Amino acid sequence: MNSSAANSLKLGICGLGTVGGGTLALLENNGAEISLRTGLPIEVIAVASRSLQPGSLPHIANTGTDPFAVANDPDVDVVIETIGGFDPAFEVVKQALSNGKHVITANKALIAERGGELISIAATNNVILAFESAVAGGIPIIKALREGLAANKINWLAGIINGTGNFILSEMAAKQRQFVDVLLEAQELGYAEADPTFDVEGIDAAHKLTIMASIAFGIPLQFEKTYIEGISQVSPEDIIYAKELGYTIKHLGIARLLEAGVEIRVHPTLISNKNLLASVNGVSNAILVNGNAVGSTLYSGPGAGAEATASSVVADVIDIARYQTAGMEKPVIPALGYLKHHENVPVLKIENIRSEYYLRIFAKDKVGVMANISSILQRHEISIEAVIQKEAISENVPIVILTHNTLEKQLNGAIAEIEQLDDVSESIARIRLEAFDDEGGS
Amino acid sequence: MNSSAANSLKLGICGLGTVGGGTLALLENNGAEISLRTGLPIEVIAVASRSLQPGSLPHIANTGTDPFAVANDPDVDVVIETIGGFDPAFEVVKQALSNGKHVITANKALIAERGGELISIAATNNVILAFESAVAGGIPIIKALREGLAANKINWLAGIINGTGNFILSEMAAKQRQFVDVLLEAQELGYAEADPTFDVEGIDAAHKLTIMASIAFGIPLQFEKTYIEGISQVSPEDIIYAKELGYTIKHLGIARLLEAGVEIRVHPTLISNKNLLASVNGVSNAILVNGNAVGSTLYSGPGAGAEATASSVVADVIDIARYQTAGMEKPVIPALGYLKHHENVPVLKIENIRSEYYLRIFAKDKVGVMANISSILQRHEISIEAVIQKEAISENVPIVILTHNTLEKQLNGAIAEIEQLDDVSESIARIRLEAFDDEGGS
């Protein structure tokens, strides 16, 4: 790491899409204010973008379409990767790190799935790999976990970390609309991609949760072990029934450290209406973190958008500028917050988690059905916290059950048996319910 | 600053009350985890406390009752000041900084009122003065403002930053109780001091707001120019009337940057029930920050308590340990976030702010009263957004008015005239109403 006094910090940006373009604009708009904070002028001297017209950025020395020309530019101190995806992003980042340049990336998939390898290359080359913008857009949650809460053992965290999914669930709840209907609107508004799989099936949230879990607990990145369930199966009826019981359904990423290992899971979740997360609507993100000293703290704000994400990219730039100015000889903060990971903490399989559950069963309106269901649950040692029987829909009656804390494996067995009952029709809706030990905020 | 490789970071703690004692305990309980994050063992080698029994901390080398013995201990790298107040805290901090030691303090009054002088002594001696724990307890809001949001020009911030006051207002709202009644309970629960002036009259909140405003806008600390109004005049009726109109009354610290200068003010405030701050109840703190790139982000959590506050003290310790390990030659982050302040930004007098207002007037139930009030408001160019007339209480009718945005000076003139009307009895309740341009979170 070159910490000799330089006149400026020189940036190269790879990819001028939403985030890259936003970053370039933000550095220009807020440059004067930022230099009062860093003491070191920051300038963009190289840009690569697929669609760049020759001569369109006349004040930037090195422009073109090849990101490797940025990664290999000897004058560039920091490479900002805002291309997205793996190819060529992975090789560009690797090349830049190998050349001894710091790298800032907004690429959550890249960090969650191949971050281990890149972080080790960064360490070898004594440079920083920073990714505040990869998780929860403009919310400085990486900094909170790695630094602000660093005095704590983190017990658990839970977050609304996909704006598209939260917009869809919020709309379904506010207007009693169907999933597919709201998804179409979200696509028209530009909140959802043409192929919405990444967002609505929870993959994007799982990438972010993987990164947060690693930092929170000091464990390696383990995207492949993260449990992922999307929101496409949530029905407006379930949202209404949950509300009547005092709960809101949110798509949460949950990570929790237990004696037996860690839970890392993304799925629709019933949470108390009193939990601050329940009031976070629309495309916002919010993360509740519970530490053994501080208790629960909440961080919320815009999880996406050009300017919000650029805010986090440039925060990483400012960190580097300040470290450089202070004469740092090596990275100040380990990329994932720990110098040495806990290597032997297993990630629990979903069958082995314990949770409370919401069950919605359609059954014929006949004497004895409820008794049969109850006896199956009892046989599987699942105790019931609440039952409500709703008005019949055609010949079926919706029965809604909240269970006490139980092992998921046991619940699966009970559900399979209940579904075999003659008087039970369709499959049973099962949604996990989180009763956090500290709801935070109120 | 001594950045030579040391085997450990050596701390001295002055004051073993709630926060100091919590810090000592936290370093012990989480020490192993913390060392995985810093790479540098942290040890407490000196402690001074008024009530320290000789031999009660046998594993600590230098113990006694004199804080200057800690500040002057040549082996101490970092002095933690958790004495509180000005005397001897100011001289202890000054002595430690002059001796070339970093100082961490939880003392909001000290930083807000005499921070300028201490920060300049720290700069002269090339050491760090850190105070994350001085604002909003366990919430890492200083780090968010100085680092996480450093790419933004901050437009405004608004926060619930006194847990005692928020507990009292939450209880008054939930149970329609009187201020004095809830205050007594808060004292019994240990949420309020025997002399509650600092909390309920807004001085504590003003200390915290002064510090946040300085960091947010890059202006000097100006406690003496902060407008302060407490909650002792808020009545349960006003809370109820506000609720009927869709608002919650919170005691907020508000700082806003405008063309004409900055507003820095602490007072009861009506906010929309949809604002996330409205859902923050009990002793929690929460701060909503609006930046020109990121938009609004919210930070909430416990604003007081031994462990929560210690979480922030030790986060400052960890920062210093990491900087030290990375070979820093001088402080990485300016104490108030800016290397050079904007010196010529005036703090606006309260008469010169613009706001919407809630007015509650008790008037005789007679024809023409409302017409008289309306015509006075109109003459002062104040337009009315909503009026509700409540059921008569004895011979008086409460009239509740929400105004559109108006200059406070103009409103004062109108109120003075209305209070002169024969049919208006008692003084008029006036509470500012904030319609934030971005409520955040939803």
Digit-coded pLDDT (tens) for A309-342: 999 999 999 999 999 999 999 999 999 999 999 9
Q: Can you give the pLDDT at residue B4?
A: 46
A114 touches chain B (CB under 8 A): no
B272 touches chain A (CB under 8 A): no
Chain A contacts of B305, Cβ < 8 Å?
A: 295
* Cα–Cα distance list, B46 to B73, B76, B95, B102, B309 (Å): 8, 7, 15, 14, 20
A1 touches chain B (CB under 8 A): no
Digit-coded pLDDT (tens) for B201-254: 999 999 999 999 999 999 999 999 999 999 999 999 999 999 999 999 999 999
Q: Are A217 and A340 contacting, i.e. CB atoms less than 8 angstroms apart?
A: no
Kindly report the CATH number assigned to the domain that includes residue A392. Answer: 3.30.70.260
For the segment A280-290, the average pLDDT, to the nearest whole number, is 95
Tokens of B324: 């030290």
Cα separation, B30 vs B27, whole angstroms: 6
A58 touches chain B (CB under 8 A): no
For the segment A50-63, the average pLDDT, to the nearest whole number, is 90
**Is B212 contained in some domain?**
yes
For the segment B385-399, the average pLDDT, to the nearest whole number, is 86
The answer to whether the Cβ–Cβ distance between A151 and B326 falls below 8 Å is no
Instruction: Give percent above pLDDT 90 in chain B.
Output: 89
Cα separation, B170 vs B162, whole angstroms: 12
B17 touches chain A (CB under 8 A): no
- Together in a domain, A250 and A189: yes
Q: What is the pLDDT confidence band of residue B264, given thresholds at 50, 70 and 90?
A: very high
- Together in a domain, B216 and B262: yes
**Is A118 contained in some domain?**
yes
**Is A226 contained in some domain?**
yes
Cα separation, B440 vs B442, whole angstroms: 6
Q: What is the pLDDT confidence band of residue B190, given thresholds at 50, 70 and 90?
A: confident
The answer to whether the Cβ–Cβ distance between B153 and A33 falls below 8 Å is yes
Q: Inform me whether the pLDDT recorded for B442 exceeds 80.
A: no
Q: Which of A308, A333, A340 comes nearest B294 by C-beta? A: A308
Kindly report the CATH number assigned to the domain that includes residue A43. Answer: 3.40.50.720
Q: Select from B79, B81, B62 the least CA-distant residue to B125.
A: B79
- Together in a domain, B119 and B43: yes
Cα separation, A127 vs A330, whole angstroms: 7
Last residue of a domain, one of B237, B267, B301: B301
Task: Count how many domains chain A has.
Answer: 3
Q: Inform me whether the pLDDT recorded for A440 exceeds 70.
A: no
Q: Are B296 and B151 contacting, i.e. CB atoms less than 8 angstroms apart?
A: no
For chain B, the average pLDDT equals 94
Tokens of B376: 């006075």
Q: Inform me whether the pLDDT recorded for B3 exceeds 50.
A: no
Min Cα–Cα distance to chain A from B228, Å: 25
Q: Inform me whether the pLDDT recorded for B374 exceeds 80.
A: yes
Chain A contacts of B144, Cβ < 8 Å?
A: 140, 143-144, 148
The answer to whether the Cβ–Cβ distance between B328 and A330 falls below 8 Å is no
Crossing angle (nearest 10°) for helices B163-175 and B179-189: 130
Q: Can you give the pLDDT at residue A80?
A: 98
Instruction: Give percent above pLDDT 70 in chain A.
Output: 98
- Together in a domain, A103 and A158: no
A31 touches chain B (CB under 8 A): no
Min Cα–Cα distance to chain B from A60, Å: 21
Q: Are A139 and A303 contacting, i.e. CB atoms less than 8 angstroms apart?
A: yes
Q: Inform me whether the pLDDT recorded for A191 exceeds 90.
A: no
The answer to whether the Cβ–Cβ distance between A441 and B286 falls below 8 Å is yes
Digit-coded pLDDT (tens) for A395-430: 889 999 999 999 999 999 999 999 999 999 878 999
The answer to whether the Cβ–Cβ distance between A311 and B26 falls below 8 Å is no
- Together in a domain, A264 and A362: no
Which residue, chain included where needed, has tokens 């986090």?
A312
The answer to whether the Cβ–Cβ distance between A36 and B338 falls below 8 Å is yes
DSSP string, B32-54: HHHHHHHSS-EEEEEEE-TTPPT
Q: Which residues of B are catalytic?
A: 208
- Together in a domain, B131 and B180: no
Task: Quickly count: other Cβ atoms within 10 Å of residue A74's Cβ.
Answer: 7
- The pTM assigned to this predicted structure is 0.96
Task: Quickly count: other Cβ atoms within 10 Å of residue B317's Cβ.
Answer: 27
- Together in a domain, A184 and A291: yes
Chain A contacts of B104, Cβ < 8 Å?
A: none
A272 touches chain B (CB under 8 A): no
Tokens of B43: 């040890």
Q: Which of B34, B170, B300 comes nearest A297 by C-beta? A: B300
DSSP string, B120-175: HHHHHTT--EE-GGGSSTTS-HHHIIIIITTTSPEEEEEEE--HHHHHHHHHHHHH
Q: Which of residues 208-267 of B touch A (CB under 8 A)?
A: 218
Min Cα–Cα distance to chain B from A5, Å: 12
- Together in a domain, B108 and B209: no
For the segment A276-296, the average pLDDT, to the nearest whole number, is 95
**Is A13 contained in some domain?**
yes
Q: Are A166 and A285 contacting, i.e. CB atoms less than 8 angstroms apart?
A: yes
- Together in a domain, B134 and B278: no
Please give the angle made by the CA atoms of B158, B153 and B261, to the nearest 5 degrees.
70
Which residue, chain included where needed, has tokens 């920062």?
B319
Q: Inform me whether the pLDDT recorded for B170 exceeds 60.
A: yes
The answer to whether the Cβ–Cβ distance between B144 and A147 falls below 8 Å is no
Burial of A202 (0-12, 13-18, 19+ CB in 10 A): buried
Q: Inform me whether the pLDDT recorded for B1 exceeds 70.
A: no
Task: Quickly count: other Cβ atoms within 10 Å of residue A50's Cβ.
Answer: 11
For strand A78-81 and strand A102-105, is the pairing parallel, antiparallel, or unpaired?
A: parallel
Tokens of B197: 């002036």
Q: Can you give the pLDDT at residue A297?
A: 97
Burial of A342 (0-12, 13-18, 19+ CB in 10 A): middle
Chain B contacts of A331, Cβ < 8 Å?
A: 326
Kindly report the CATH number assigned to the domain that includes residue A283. Answer: 3.30.360.10
B126 touches chain A (CB under 8 A): no
Interface test with B, best of A18, A147, A344 (most B CBs within 10 A): A147
Q: What is the pLDDT confidence band of residue B6, given thresholds at 50, 70 and 90?
A: low
B340 touches chain A (CB under 8 A): yes
Tokens of A428: 């049973």
Q: Which residues of A are catalytic?
A: 208
Digit-coded pLDDT (tens) for A140-179: 999 999 999 999 999 999 999 999 999 999 999 999 999 9
DSSP string, A107-163: -HHHHHHHHHHHHHHHHHTT--EE-GGGSSTTS-HHHIIIIITTTSPEEEEEEE--H
Q: Which of B39, B140, B332 comes nearest A144 by C-beta? A: B140
For the segment A70-79, the average pLDDT, to the nearest whole number, is 98
Q: Inform me whether the pLDDT recorded for A123 exceeds 50.
A: yes
- Together in a domain, A296 and A313: no
Q: Inform me whether the pLDDT recorded for A343 exceeds 90.
A: no
**Is A273 contained in some domain?**
yes
Chain B contacts of A29, Cβ < 8 Å?
A: 292-293
- Together in a domain, B42 and B75: yes
Q: What is the pLDDT confidence band of residue A392, given thresholds at 50, 70 and 90?
A: confident
**Is A171 contained in some domain?**
yes
For the segment B412-438, the average pLDDT, to the nearest whole number, is 93
Tokens of B228: 């302060």
**Is B218 contained in some domain?**
yes
Q: Can you give the pLDDT at residue A429?
A: 96
Lowest mean pLDDT among A356-365, B292-301, B362-371: B362-371
**Is A339 contained in some domain?**
no
Q: Inform me whether the pLDDT recorded for B5 exceeds 60.
A: no
A100 touches chain B (CB under 8 A): no
Q: What is the pLDDT confidence band of residue B394, given thresholds at 50, 70 and 90?
A: confident
The answer to whether the Cβ–Cβ distance between B276 and A319 falls below 8 Å is no
A150 touches chain B (CB under 8 A): yes
Q: Can you give the pLDDT at residue A439?
A: 66
B136 touches chain A (CB under 8 A): no
Nearest CA in chain A to B289: A301
Please give the angle made by the CA atoms of A22, A128 and B332, to the nearest 5 degrees.
90
The answer to whether the Cβ–Cβ distance between A151 and B440 falls below 8 Å is no
Q: Inform me whether the pLDDT recorded for A2 exceeds 60.
A: no
The answer to whether the Cβ–Cβ distance between B276 and A280 falls below 8 Å is yes
Domain that holds residue A215: 153-302
Q: Are B321 and B36 contacting, i.e. CB atoms less than 8 angstroms apart?
A: no
The answer to whether the Cβ–Cβ distance between B34 and A151 falls below 8 Å is yes
Min Cα–Cα distance to chain B from A426, Å: 35
- Together in a domain, B197 and B260: yes
* Cα–Cα distance list, A389 to A2, A245, A270, A392 (Å): 69, 12, 18, 9
Cα separation, A3 vs A323, whole angstroms: 8
In eight-state DSSP terms, residue B401 is E
Cα separation, B159 vs A433, whole angstroms: 31
Instruction: Give percent above pLDDT 90 in chain A.
Output: 90
For the segment A111-135, the average pLDDT, to the nearest whole number, is 98
Chain B contacts of A339, Cβ < 8 Å?
A: 36-39
Q: What is the pLDDT confidence band of residue B425, given thresholds at 50, 70 and 90?
A: confident
Chain B contacts of A30, Cβ < 8 Å?
A: 151-153, 292-293
Which residues share a beta bridge with A78?
Answer: A11, A102
Q: Can you give the pLDDT at residue B176?
A: 93
